[in-house]
């Protein structure tokens, strides 16, 4: 799953969690709704942004991050499941003796796998009318049921998040694919280790594959060998000949009379037959199912979205539209409308420039004196939500021609930084980003290298996040001429 698809899935998941939480009563979302409305995006993206802001305030985003960070623990559980599965399959095939019953060994290695795979295939069409989560007879479902009970999932937000995730999976009809992906991965690695174990055992110990029966005729085992060995034979794997004539020729006089009780397969051919059956009927189908599930989940992550026809989202859309500013139009000379412009036209001329220090210590000379004296507003904020809302209200009233945002190059830009820059950029004609580079102390080469690495990181981040129209200067002194042009 790509990064964009994964992020979209988390946004929709969180939006559904907020929707469920608001069924018990509306949340205080005045600030979140106002910030989302100023986002230059579609109504869906604005609603997702509102839910994300509320999720940050309620601690749900932090809970989701803790779960992502605890992914290593899930990997350990998957490894444990694979080890247990492998040992169980090998133990059922390689008994304490040197004789392996071919038919029972085949069923032991592939029986439960075949049943669980059949249940999973049946669950796919049933998912169309599914009303509750499920993954069929799936190891992945059992493993996930245990994971959600781990300590990092416990908390006041767990119930809402899990309920929202469950409803989202069911709504998108992804239960078999989500749980099946993990289950098929476990089976794939398990069969890989089973093949390695069988190869090691057959290479360094002598086993005799036999068939034994009390009530079945020898022809039944001959037919069993032909049917199961059909696909291996297409790849050149020899299939043991268990016909009565071949058995009599191989055993000598009197062997045919004892064939109704027991028989032995040629050791080399029997070992090749068992290895080929495990690979073709066990490993290959599970590997193909992994690819299938991953493809379906990738497509689903790209198309997943909120349902704007839902009454809940209809009410939110009405509240968003009520926050839109009225545009000044001239009925006689309407002129061409620029549909590509995301910044709203308030009819107020953009004049002067504003300088904002974002997430700075603000206890030093972060701004040149020439800029501070000429700016319509020069303010430094720590980045808290109330400070951002108040500042954006001031910028919306001033409507500066140019906005210069000063950041710390050593800080790491994140989603909150991106939201602030996009929201503040709606209130200015042109925008630029610059940095409060700290003077070099101690080793000047190390300080210079650290500053340059920070600047490069920010430039890559602005490019990756598509901050169109934002100029980037290395420091405030370099940005001063650009800002003073609007003074």
pLDDT in tens, 169-222: 778 888 788 888 888 888 888 888 888 888 888 888 777 777 777 777 777 777
Q: Tell me how far apart the terminal alpha carbons of the chain are, to the nearest angstrom.
A: 48
pLDDT of res. 337: 38
Structure confidence at residue 405 as a pLDDT band (50, 70, 90): very high
Tell me the mean pLDDT in the region 416-426. Answer: 81
pLDDT of res. 287: 94
Structure confidence at residue 291 as a pLDDT band (50, 70, 90): very high
**Residue 240, pLDDT above cutoff 80:** no
Task: List, in sequence order, every beta strand (DSSP E) within 118-220.
Answer: 208-212
Whether pTM > 0.85 for this model: the answer is no
Task: Report how far residue 137's alpha carbon sits from residue 127's, in angstroms, rounded to the nearest whole number.
Answer: 14
Task: Report how far residue 427's alpha carbon sits from residue 395's, in angstroms, rounded to the nearest whole number.
Answer: 6
CA dihedral 301, 3, 58, 467 (to 10 degrees): -120
Is residue 406 within a helix (H) or strand (E), and if so which, with residue range? strand 402-407
Structure confidence at residue 273 as a pLDDT band (50, 70, 90): confident
**Residue 227, pLDDT above cutoff 50:** yes
């Amino acid at each position: 799953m790509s990064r964009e698809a994964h992020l979209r899935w988390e946004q929709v998941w969180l939006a559904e969690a907020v929707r469920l939480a608001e069924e018990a009563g509306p949340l205080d979302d005045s600030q979140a709704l106002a910030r989302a409305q100023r986002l230059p995006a579609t109504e869906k993206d604005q609603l997702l942004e509102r839910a994300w802001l509320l999720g940050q305030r309620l601690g749900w985003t932090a809970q989701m991050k803790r779960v992502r960070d605890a992914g290593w623990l899930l990997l350990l559980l998957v490894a444990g499941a694979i080890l247990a599965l492998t040992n169980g399959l090998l133990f059922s095939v390689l008994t304490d003796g040197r004789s392996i019953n071919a038919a029972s060994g085949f069923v032991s290695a592939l029986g439960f796998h075949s049943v669980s795979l059949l249940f999973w295939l049946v669950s796919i069409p049933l998912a169309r009318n599914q009303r509750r989560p499920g993954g069929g007879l799936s190891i992945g479902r059992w493993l996930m049921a245990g994971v959600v009970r781990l300590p990092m999932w416990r908390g006041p937000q767990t119930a809402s998040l899990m309920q929202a995730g469950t409803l989202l999976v069911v709504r998108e009809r992804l239960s078999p694919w989500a749980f099946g992906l993990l289950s098929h991965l476990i089976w794939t690695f398990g069969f890989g280790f089973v093949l390695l174990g069988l190869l090691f055992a057959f290479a360094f110990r002598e086993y005799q594959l036999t068939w034994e029966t009390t009530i079945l005729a020898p022809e039944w085992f001959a037919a069993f060998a032909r049917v199961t060995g059909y696909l291996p034979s297409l790849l050149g794997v020899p299939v043991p000949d268990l016909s009565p004539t071949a058995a009599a020729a191989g055993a000598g006089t009197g062997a045919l009379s004892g064939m109704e009780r027991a028989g032995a397969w040629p050791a080399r051919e029997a070992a090749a037959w068992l290895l080929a059956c495990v690979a073709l009927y066990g490993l290959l189908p599970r590997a193909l199912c992994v690819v299938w599930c991953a493809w379906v989940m990738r497509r689903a992550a790209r198309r997943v979205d909120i349902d704007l026809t839902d009454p809940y989202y209809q009410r939110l859309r009405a509240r968003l539209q009520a926050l839109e500013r009225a545009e000044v139009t001239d009925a006689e000379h309407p002129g061409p409308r620029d549909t590509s412009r995301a910044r709203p036209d308030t009819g107020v001329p953009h004049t002067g420039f504003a300088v904002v220090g974002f997430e700075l210590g603000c206890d030093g000379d972060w701004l040149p004196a020439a800029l501070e004296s000429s700016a319509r507003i020069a303010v430094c904020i720590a980045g808290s939500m109330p400070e951002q809302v108040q500042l954006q209200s001031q910028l919306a009233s001033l409507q500066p021609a140019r906005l210069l945002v000063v950041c710390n190059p050593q800080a790491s830009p994140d989603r909150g930084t991106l939201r602030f820059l996009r929201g503040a950029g709606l209130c200015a004609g042109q925008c630029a980003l610059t940095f409060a580079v700290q003077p070099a102390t101690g080793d000047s080469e190390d300080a210079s290298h650290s500053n340059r690495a920070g600047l490069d990181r920010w430039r890559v981040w602005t490019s990756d996040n598509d901050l169109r129209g934002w100029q980037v200067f290395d420091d405030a002194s370099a940005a001063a001429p650009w800002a003073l042009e609007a003074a």
